Chains A and B, each alone.
Chain A
Amino acid sequence: MSTSISTVTTPARRKRGSRTPQGVAPKAQRESPFARVSAMIVMGVFTLYFLVPIWWLLVAATKDRSQFNTTNPLWFADFSLFTNIGNLIAYRDGVYLKWMLNSALYAGLGAAIGTIIAGMCGYALAKYNFPGRELIFNVVLGGVLVPATALALPLFLIFSQISLTNTFWSVFLPSLVSPFGVYLARIYASASVPDELIEAARLDGAGEVRTFFTVSVRMMVPALITVFLFQFVAIWNNFFLPLIMLRDETLFSVTLGLYAWNSQVNQIPVLRDYVLIGALLSIIPLIIIFLLLQRFWQNGLSAGSVK
């Protein structure tokens, strides 16, 4: 969550920086070497803290089972990563691939539609004056405060009423909702979409929907990408909702599937290997989407700052 919040504030800060000509840079250089070194050390420690478990996972995934316990946990032994991946994919007719596909659907489609909805809501709240606007916004803000985990059980009971539990929709529909996305889109739209521009579009004869999709969305791109990323990661890592909703193995998300395997390790020890390799593979899509979208996000940033 902290990453997304920091990305929120960055665009605004950078924008201001680009407007003030050269005022900030020399001041920064005057920092004492001590402050610099200590900052580097603190960051270095945190980097290690976050990367060592991933390194461990990567190393563990390349080992075969007999070497797993007997060799140095942080360094490679015989390299059998591809055999391991092959075994994982072959296990139970490739159910793991099915889970990855499910997660991609829940997270990809869910985040895409969720972002459009959040963007439209936020834009409407920022740019239209209507009675109850602040009330709606405050309710949405309240929604940010309620953790998704707390909603899982009530959602289950509601979905039970309409016989939708244990379906694709039971996980997909709740994933579309992102109060935080609405909040972010509103703040960003009011700061970056000038009223004059919307006015101009209206004068040129564009309808409200067309204005939104052709003019405003382009200026909101950095915020929308942030919402998408945040939502994608949140859905991909969401575990509790699938746990409560789903019974059918072919609908599982990858997090739930791996958890289910992990809970059976006592009885079926071979699952331990699959959990490790599966966990490693399951973070790859997150890394890819971050790297790809980050670049796009920077492009969008400069586009948004031109007035």
Chain B
Amino acid sequence: MRIKKRAAAVALLTAATVALTGCAAGSTTSAGADCAPATGKVDLTFTTWIPGMEDVAKVRNEKNPDVQVKVQTGPNGNGGTYQNFFNQLKAGNAPDLGQIEYDALPNFRVQDGLTDLAACKGVLEAKSDFVDWTWGQVNFGEDKSVYAIPQDAGPMAMFYRADLFEANNIAIPTTWDEFAVAAEKVRATGGYITNFSQSDINQFAGFVWQAGGSWFKNDGENWTVDLTSPESVKVAAYWQDLIDRDLVSTNPPWTDEWNNAYNSGSDWTWNSAAWGANSIASGAPDTAGKWSVALSPQWAAGDKAAGNWGGSSTAVFKGSKHPYEAAQFALWLNTSDEALTMLNKSANLYPAAKSGLELPALKAGVEFYGNQPIYDVFSEASDQVSPDFIWGPTMTQVYNDTSDGFKGAVTGSGTLTDALTSAQKSTISALEAQSIPVNK
């Protein structure tokens, strides 16, 4: 209860500051032109909530005595750290580097809080080091700009109870049609084929992403909100049908009920991201060894598409006195095997760098999944994620409004499509309220 209150307080303050800073939007001065190395010793600060980051920074600090990175921490982005970043940008004491999830980057871009790193040595060239779609998340489609360095990604696949599917003679679904048919068979045995996330909207966004939709567009001037695109509506109708027929469970993710549904074998699959491997292992310890991972079901047989759920980047804030050194640190942090191995170990980060996908830790079999080398599946999925999905500048509001509607839909008032329609409207008003140009 205390946490809820705090979240509400954070939200309130967010709203207040958004209103305050709204007028700053639109000014787009680019500091990209000068990105020269400093002479002498450089101290950098890096705010992140990723545990173990200080150990990674220590490794680099020892190798580069002239550039010392000090790691600072806090709650996760939406838990208050993003709001702190905005406060600090306003007060002029933002850290040099910050952890920012892909879906929050447009907000910082619109508020002009990010340094364009394109002029910094090695940054534009690094494009080929990263999985293609992650680069699109950090340059917003501008070829001559780079606003952050991709860190991790959440390509989606399907975790499933191999033992239950086999024992009940149900084929592993490879298309969403097969998935719906299998759902009926699973329900007949008393279980649910999967859990539909009513509160964490990122799962649904991942489904839309896989279907080829995008929720926002930006032509360089105006934003277009597209929560009700044909792809989005198709996905909503599909899940609404499963919910209506009571074929999927709708426990909110990461609650006791949710854990329990998996631990007791009542829920059979989870459509989730690479980092989710640990959520299941910890929430459902009694089912160790019985899980496997397969590529996500497709909308048409033979398609090869995957969605993405989560992932973040390392950005350099406006006002950093040492963008060159900061950019070099961010590149090292997110491409070197050494750093990526440590981050994968301490925080289960699934790298955005191509070379990171080949780390020994991500090639080995995982005991919880019957020693299946599950990350091979995610690596394949990673290649199939579309680069065209774009986040908007007010994602916190979009998530809140959508999940309000989704919570209604799973209890029978309204539908998922209704929720998207009303979130579409409220999002356009939210953008207008911040004086962000938007097409109606």
Contact = CB atoms under 8 A, between A and B. Distances in A.
Contacts of A92: 51
A264 B348 CA distance: 12
Interface in B70-91: 72-76, 79-80, 84, 87-88, 90-91
B87 A153 contact: yes
B91 A269 contact: no
A240 interface: yes
A239 B8 CA distance: 13
Contacts of B348: 267-268
A248 B72 CA distance: 5
Most chain B C-beta atoms within 10 Å of own C-beta, residue among A152, A259, A264, A270:
A259
Given A66-B286, A69-B259, A267 B9 contact: no
B328 interface: no
A247 B90 contact: no
Given A69-B259, A69-B283, A244-B84, A149 B9 contact: yes
Given A247-B73, A247-B74, A247-B95, A266 B260 contact: no
B188 interface: no
Nearest to A163: B93
B49 A260 contact: yes
A266 B276 CA distance: 8
Contacts of B9: 149, 240
A65 B259 CA distance: 11
Contact of B256 (A69, A165, A256): A69
B249 interface: no
B167 interface: no
Given A69-B260, A149-B9, A269-B278, A260 B72 contact: no
Contacts of B275: 267
A259 B84 CA distance: 15
B254 A243 contact: no
Given A69-B263, A249-B73, A153 B17 contact: yes
A259 B88 CA distance: 20
A170 B260 CA distance: 43
Contacts of B6: 239-240, 259
A245 to B, nearest CB: 9
B364 interface: no
B123 to A, nearest CB: 26
Given A259-B79, A268-B51, A153 B13 contact: yes
Contact of A264 (B16, B45, B51, B92): B51
Interface string A226-245: 00000000000001100110
A292 B3 CA distance: 29
A160 interface: yes
A87 interface: no
B3 A262 contact: yes
A69 B47 CA distance: 34
A199 B148 CA distance: 71
A268 B91 contact: no
B79 A263 contact: yes
A267 B74 CA distance: 15
Interface string A142-168: 000000010011001100110101100
Interface in B220-273: 254, 256, 259-260, 263
Interface string B137-171: 00000000000000000000000000000000000
Nearest to B52: A92
B436 to A, nearest CB: 22
Contacts of A66: 285-286
Given A248-B72, A259-B75, A156 B91 contact: yes
B279 interface: yes
Interface in A79-107: 92
Contacts of A165: 91, 93
A3 interface: no
B64 interface: no
Nearest to B275: A267
Nearest to B276: A266
Contacts of B90: 157
Contacts of B30: none
A245 B403 CA distance: 31
B72 to A, nearest CB: 3
A65 B79 contact: no
B240 to A, nearest CB: 26
B261 to A, nearest CB: 10
Interface in B279-335: 279, 281-283, 285-286
A38 interface: no
Given A153-B87, A262-B3, A269-B279, A247 B285 contact: no
Given A157-B90, A263-B49, A243 B84 contact: yes
Contacts of A269: 278-279, 281-283
A70 interface: yes
B92 A263 contact: no
Interface in A155-187: 156-157, 160-161, 163, 165-166
Contacts of B283: 69, 269
B79 A268 contact: no
A262 B263 CA distance: 21
B254 A263 contact: no
Given A153-B87, A243-B10, A256-B75, 13 more contacts: A70-B260, A152-B13, A153-B16, A157-B91, A160-B92, A161-B91, A240-B6, A247-B45, A247-B47, A247-B74, A263-B76, A265-B254, A268-B278
Interface of B: 1, 3, 6, 9-10, 13, 16-17, 45, 47, 49, 51, 72-76, 79-80, 84, 87-88, 90-93, 95, 254, 256, 259-260, 263, 275, 278-279, 281-283, 285-286, 347-348
